[in-house]
Amino acid sequence: MTDLPRKAVVRSARLASVPLGLAGRTALGLGKRIGGKPAELVAAELQARTAQQLFQVLGELKGGAMKFGQALSIFEAAFPEEMAGPYRAMLTKLQDSAPPMPTSSVHGVLRDELGARWRNQFESFDDAPVASASIGQVHRAVWKDGRAAAVKIQYPGAGAALMSDIKQLSRVAKVATAWVPGIEIGPILTELRDRMAEELDYRLEAQSQAVFAEAFEGDPEFAVPVVLAGTEHVIVSEWLEGKPLSRIIADGTPAERNAASQLYLGFLMAGPAYTGMLHADPHPGNFRMTPDGRLGVIDFGAVNRLPGGMPVEIGHLLTAGLDGGADAVLQGLRNIGFVRENIDLDANRLLDYLEPFLAPFRSDEFTFSRDWLRGVFAHINDPRQPNYTVGYKLNLPAEYLLIHRVWGGGIGVLSQLEGTVRGRELVDELLPGADLPPVSA
């Protein structure tokens, strides 16, 4: 196994192989159909092979390529069922795994970051990684004071690889758009690029994690591991035991799904309320259910700083929409830039368009599901729908881009979990502005 591939020409060639490979398989499939092979069987083979190649290319490249794949995997629940099968396994696998870097590279990073006698910082250190992510991998260890620890080590060359990937991923974006109609890949790539500098400096991540750990210390619902040491390329944290959400998605019981869903949605709201920051990497690999029934949260490399908590306008507009205040919703969206002043838009059509996003909070309990999310995508992306053109009249202000991505990704994860949540209860308790009277139109 080699180090993280970082020569631009090599990484570009591997990324280019995804759309080129799809084109070749499509031609092969056409030949099989002409030869009499059933179209459904050919399509299934194409999807399975494309999923396999996508996982191998993005997983081997790690860096921005793998991070892009993780962002897409959150939306797997929106795939049409006939496509979801082959991609579900591969993209879910991408959330939690990648080839490890050599032991010599691991020791080299630790020596550079913690000093020549880095082993003195630990009672023991396991050279085999227990998890891999987009720009680093995690090892188990025992800290010098006897505490079980997780040691996250950044891949050498990750910075250069990330920047190269972002430039090349437009090739993959064309393929990805075909899987999930309605997902705008461009903004995802732009937002990922803008966050790269912060995610590459583990000292910033350590600072964010420390804020969350202090805010949720002793909390009965959420667990955040304490940071033991942090440098630019290494973070040592207390070990957090638990069952990853990806496993609950795969084979969890109804009770596990319900508990995980309620806590997951609660954390999305509690984070800004308690810390002034939104955890901005919502994929399932960053969450786990601890043995004592709490939601454990890891990986704070991406956060959205919200000093006053979630913008009060969000809770205000949600309440207005639930109350049927179409004019109030339209005016409120104009006030914060989601609808430009020169855009002519019917308030009732707008509210009808937004209804699927209000539904989870309209009753005391709501059950997320893959079928529901597919229905949402059809509602906003089907040209035959009467309110289809409404989406083209909406604007996403830059200050709401990351909030929008996190909540969109969170809904995707909840739809994978397929649990029942008491969402309105959480809104009333944690979302600023939800108790305000409707804005005047």
Give the model confidence (pLDDT) of 18-29 as tens digits.
444 434 433 333
Residue 69 buriedness (CB in 10 A; 0-12 / 13-18 / 19+): buried
Position with higher pLDDT, 431 vs 397:
431
User: Are 276 and 425 within 8 A, CB to CB?
Assistant: no
pLDDT of 57 reads 54
User: In the Cβ-directed half-sphere of 49, how many Cα atoms lie within 13 Å?
Assistant: 17
Q: Which residues contact 82 (CB under 8 A, 6 or more apart)?
A: 43
Tell me the average pLDDT across 345-371. Answer: 93
User: Are 234 and 118 within 8 A, CB to CB?
Assistant: no
Would you give the distance in Å from CA 347 to the centre of its chain?
A: 32
Lowest mean pLDDT among 20-24, 226-230, 346-350: 20-24
Dig out the tokens for 213 from the structure.
Answer: 């750990």
pLDDT of 232 reads 95
pLDDT of 261 reads 98
Position with higher pLDDT, 244 vs 58:
244
User: Mean pLDDT of all residues in the chain?
Assistant: 78
Whole-structure pTM over 0.75, yes or no? yes
pLDDT of 296 reads 98
Say if residue 410's pLDDT is above 70.
yes
pLDDT of 389 reads 84
pLDDT of 194 reads 67
CA-based max dimension of the chain: 68
Say if residue 49's pLDDT is above 50.
yes
pLDDT of 182 reads 41
Residue 289 pLDDT grade (very low, low, confident, very high; cuts 50, 70, 90): very high
Cα torsion for 162, 166, 168, 172, to the nearest 10°? Answer: 110
Q: How many CB atoms lie within 10 A of CB 270?
A: 22
Question: What are the contacts of 392-398 at 24+ separation with CB within 8 A?
Answer: 393/339, 393/343, 393/345, 394/333, 394/338, 394/339, 395/337, 395/338, 395/339, 395/340, 396/187, 396/338, 397/336, 397/337, 397/338
Domains in the chain (CATH in brackets) are 8-95+171-183 (no CATH), 103-159+196-238 (3.30.200.20), 242-441 (no CATH)
d(CA 142, CA 125): 7
State what percent of residues in the chain have pLDDT above 70: 67
Residues linked to residue 142 through DSSP beta bridges, in sequence order: 124, 148
Residue 328 pLDDT grade (very low, low, confident, very high; cuts 50, 70, 90): very high
Q: List phi, psi (to 5°) of 253.
A: -75, 165
